[in-house]
Amino acid sequence: MAKLRRLSPNLKLIVRDFEIDKLHDLMQSGKVNLAIAFPDYIPDSYPIVTLFEEHHVCVASPNASIAQFPPSLADVANYPSIIASPSRPNFKGSIDDWFKQFGLKRNIVISAPCFSVVPMYLKTTDSIAFLPSRAIKGLDLIEIALEQSPDKFDVIAAWHPRYNEDALQKWVVSLLKESE
């Protein structure tokens, strides 16, 4: 974002959260020109470019009681957990499938509408969350070391095919690729 603002200070951007289930309609209507998301949520007909590989980390407030001892994976699964559920309010996420591989089920107690509010919830509750590693940089959170780690995943940029030849779109995507 900083490079984009520096190179094009007169460009106006709207950055917004949206329900991922509505992405196709938002792109079809022109309300969203470019989405940064996970590949699973993007229609197959949309052009995409992989921006970077990411992984989830288990985090908590420095005051969380789980930070006082090295927890087992079962301890982590049983601990009160917050989930970021941008597509729809629910108590299930991609990390649940990972826990299921070990015969464990998470104790999800809060479903937040987006990743950005989870750190605030962690500060006020004795709980944990699994967040993308890049989303926690500079925050007053601690990483909980795990015996096993969730699978890595790609973060991509996607756009409606009508923007394939749009010069501004190509330029913005090229800047996103550079910032890996």
- Where residue 146 falls among pLDDT bands split at 50, 70, 90? very high
Domain membership of residue 25 (yes or no) is: no
Structure pTM?
0.83
pLDDT of residue 180: 59
Domain membership of residue 161 (yes or no) is: yes
Cα-flanking dihedrals φ and ψ of residue 172, to 5°?
-60, -45
Q: How many domains does the chain have?
A: 2
Read off the CATH number of the domain in which 34 is found.
3.40.190.10
Q: In terms of domains, do 137 and 93 share one?
A: yes
Domain membership of residue 82 (yes or no) is: yes
pLDDT of residue 128: 98
Q: In terms of domains, do 134 and 163 share one?
A: no
DSSP codes joined into one string, the chain: -HHHHHH-TT---------GGGHHHHHHTTS-SEEEE-GGGS-TTS-EEEEEEE-EEEEE-TT-GGGGS---HHHHHHSEEEEE-SSSS-S--HHHHHHHTTT---EEEEEESSGGGHHHHHHHSS-EEEEEGGGGTTSS-EEPP-SS-PPPEEEEEEE-GGGTT-HHHHHHHHHHHHT-
Domain membership of residue 73 (yes or no) is: yes
Is the per-residue pLDDT at 4 higher than 90? Answer: no
- Where residue 77 falls among pLDDT bands split at 50, 70, 90? very high
Q: In terms of domains, do 109 and 79 share one?
A: yes
Q: Does 4 or 57 have the greater pLDDT score?
A: 57
Q: In terms of domains, do 49 and 60 share one?
A: no
Q: Contact 111/77 with Cβ under 8 angstroms? A: no
DSSP codes joined into one string, 37-51: E-GGGS-TTS-EEEE
Domain membership of residue 178 (yes or no) is: yes
Per-residue pLDDT of 106-138, as tens digits, reads 999 999 888 888 999 999 999 999 999 998 999
**Sign of torsion over alpha carbons 18, 129, 136, 172:** negative
